[in-house]
Structure 1
Amino acid sequence: MISTHTGRMRVNAYHFRDTWLLSSPVRTVFDAVTDVAGYPRWWPDVREVTRVDDDTAQLVCRAVLPYALVIRMRRAEEDRDTGRMRVHLTGDLEGSLAATALQLPGGTRLEITQQVIATKPLLRTLSPLARPVFRANHALMMRRGWRGLESHLSATGAR
């Protein structure tokens, strides 16, 4: 997994770029990542997923810090042929998450970009001081998601 953080923005705005290298085929990775209801099976920090409608799910996420984020993800793009997906985020984080699954020899590179504004009052209040801690919490959550997905796909024989 490769993770970078870019740009200078408002203190409660965040831009994250992560790359997950996975040993499963691109279509298998795409199907797992677009199956939001299945996240709790492999991503330990996604504690709960509730379907709102055909294009929207509500997630409760918590990594190591003592708070949970409640986020609604609404599908904006999902193209299995190109490996591109994008969702709009509302709730404790407002913004977007986009990902592209690209075939590599022997696996897949999943490129993930998130642009969000923290709207949860606790995060807005603490962002000026705790921004590095929030970034570290995000990085840990993404690392555990990458490891969880790789393990899940390996265990299900998705090669």
Structure 2
Amino acid sequence: MATDLRFRSVWRIPAERDAVRAVLGDVDGYAEWWPSILDAALANHDSGARGGHLVVRWPRAGALRLRLAPMSSADDVLAARVSGDLLGWCSWHLSTDAAGGTCVVLQQHVLLRRGALRALARIAPRRLRTDHAAVMRAGEAGLVAHIAR
């Protein structure tokens, strides 16, 4: 398995798009509702640039340390460049579903830069995808519960 990976996750959130966008846009609050996020911050730097970090609990590789650089995008998309243990980009695409809730599609295209992840991708590619799916399921459940409060 290559260390150049693409992931796609679809979340169904029973809440209005603007409410979901507000929570997903608040990176600082991710650790409050997403059990896999150990630490998160998005800040404006003195230079005017925005950037931040995420520390993600990964089932078999400890914690992933990621840096984020927000990218310009349409109103229904939140996107960022990713660096650190991964290199690439991720985006949230939000749309209203037929029931009035929100369909969130997360897309990621990343290169694995950390040795343990590259090894896992070579010897157990299904495990890597299973771990990613578990992190995403926890995020979806956490977001649903957070918005319902």
Q: Common fold, TM-score beyond 0.5?
A: yes
Q: Which runs of 4+ in 1 moved over 4 A?
A: none
- Structure 1 spans left out of the alignment, 5+ residues: 1-9
Corresponding residue SS for 1:11: coil
Structure-2 separation of matches of 1:78 and 1:44:
27
Equivalence for 1:58: 53
1:63–1:122 distance in 2 versus 1, CA, 3 Å: closer
User: RMSD across aligned C-alpha pairs, in angstroms?
Assistant: 1.5
Post-superposition Cα deviations, 1:72-123, rounded to whole Å, max 9, x if no partner, equal 11100254xx311110000001001012110123210011110001101221
Q: Which moved more, 1:49-58 or 1:142-151?
A: 49-58
Equivalence for 2:33: 42
Contact 1:70–1:92 at 8 Å: present in 2 too? yes
Q: Which amino acid aligns with 2:28?
A: A
Residues 98-137 of structure 1 correspond to what in structure 2 (within 5 A)? 98-104=91-97, 105-137=99-131
1:119–1:66 distance in 2 versus 1, CA, 3 Å: closer
TM-score normalised by the chain length of structure 1: 0.84
- Structure 2 spans left out of the alignment, 5+ residues: none
Post-superposition Cα deviations, 1:27-55, rounded to whole Å, max 9, x if no partner, equal 00011001000000000000011445352
Structure-2 separation of matches of 1:77 and 1:22:
24
Corresponding residue SS for 1:96: strand
- Structure 1 residue 151 and structure 2 residue 142: aligned? no
* Overall identity of the aligned pairs, in %: 27
Q: Which moved more, 1:62-71 or 1:146-155?
A: 62-71
Among 6, 27, 46, the alignment partner of 1:15 is 6
Structure-2 separation of matches of 1:52 and 1:27:
21
Structure-2 separation of matches of 1:33 and 1:51:
12
Equivalence for 1:71: 66
Contact 2:61–2:117 at 8 Å: present in 1 too? no
Contact 1:15–1:115 at 8 Å: present in 2 too? yes
Contact 2:7–2:108 at 8 Å: present in 1 too? yes
1:123–1:66 distance in 2 versus 1, CA, 3 Å: closer
Q: Which moved more, 1:135-144 or 1:43-52?
A: 43-52
Equivalent residues, number: 144
